[in-house]
Amino acid sequence: MRNFITRRVLQLIPLFVGISFITFWLLTLQGDPFHQLLLNPHIKAEDVARLMHQWNWDKPFLVRYFYWVKEFVTSTFVPSHGNGWGFSILAPGQTARALILQKIPMTLTLGISALVFAFVIALPIGIYSAIRQYSIGDYIGTFFAFFGMSMPAFWFGLMLLLLFGLKLGWLPIGGMHTDLLTVNGSQVDFYAAPWIMQFADRAKHLILPVVVLSLMDVGSWMRYVRSSMLEVIRQDYIRTARAKGAPERTILFKHALRNAMTPIITLIGLSLPSLLAGAMITEQVYSLDGMGRLTIQAVLGNDIFVGMAIVMMDAILVMSGSLLADILYAVVDPRIRYS
């Protein structure tokens, strides 16, 4: 296993270089990001020229790319010696890393909540649909699975907002929290309220975004669980276990489900990037100030250092999720061994 992990990690290095090179090239096609600074009347041309020289933007493309990679790696592994992945053009005075770290907590909270919610809902429905194939419950679950996979997130998010936020008034229509909370009959600032009220208020604001963000995952994961379970429960060793008189619960959860989880682990591993960038549309609909909105602003505003940092973080999550899924295969399925 150790040799396998080492080999896989070494294989990720050229993949990282290839992704970073293509992304850097594509983002530079938008034009020179430093020229946008000249639109600010308080910034002089000589200051822009000094910044371009400081960040090696007055050098050829390959040299610029080399220095960016050096800066990204240095700032990642030795933060005290780096320059924070570069500076932000749209947020003067802030580094890309500082700006991203401000937005990550909101997006991670939303992404992790959506993944957990999707897994908790999809797993039991998928198992039930498999063991009750062609039942009314199976048909209902299949209907909602296809509904979730085909429903546009922006439209469904707006519909939920109109129904539960505006029509019924049960849930907030946007934002991360309420500015003023009622404590003992008086209005106090959100951060001055007890932590339990802060937690409840944030949870209330997250209900609609989490439902919208997890909708597609619930549908696809439920179908994968169902098909994988159907394949496993028809195997000879399952029939043998039943013939020996093993309890049905033991057969389903100890033998069948464990072997059926292999494709689900792949899906969960590849879903890790959504923790950072999978909520762009949802964050826009519900006015959540997270990584999704920052990504859109960075790409449209040609904020190249912030955009590069976000893309590479997503790429690292994809590679890490794939590696983690391969490792978990051996944990879940004892038949899989890596040499």
Identify the CATH class of 100-332. mainly alpha
Cα–Cα distance measured from residue 64 to residue 74, given in angstroms and rounded to the nearest whole number: 15
The pLDDT of residue 59: 87
Token code pair at residue 119: 């897994």
Please give the C-alpha separations between residue 300 and each of 92, 100, 237, 296, in angstroms, as whole numbers: 16, 16, 56, 6
The ranges assigned to domains in the chain are 2-81, 100-332
The pLDDT of residue 238: 83
Token code pair at residue 109: 């909270």
CB-based burial of residue 108 (10 Å sphere; 0-12 exposed, 13-18 middle, 19+ buried)?
A: middle
The tens digit of pLDDT for each residue in 239-257 reads 888 888 888 888 888 778 8
19-23, 136-140, 213-217: segment of lowest average pLDDT: 213-217
Q: Is the pLDDT of residue 108 over 80?
A: yes
Whole-number mean pLDDT of the chain? 82
Q: What is the DSSP secondary structure assignment for residue 338, as one 8-state letter?
A: -
Q: How confident is the model at residue 66 (pLDDT cuts 50, 70, 90)?
A: very high
The tens digit of pLDDT for each residue in 257-297 reads 877 877 777 777 777 666 665 577 788 888 888 888 888 88
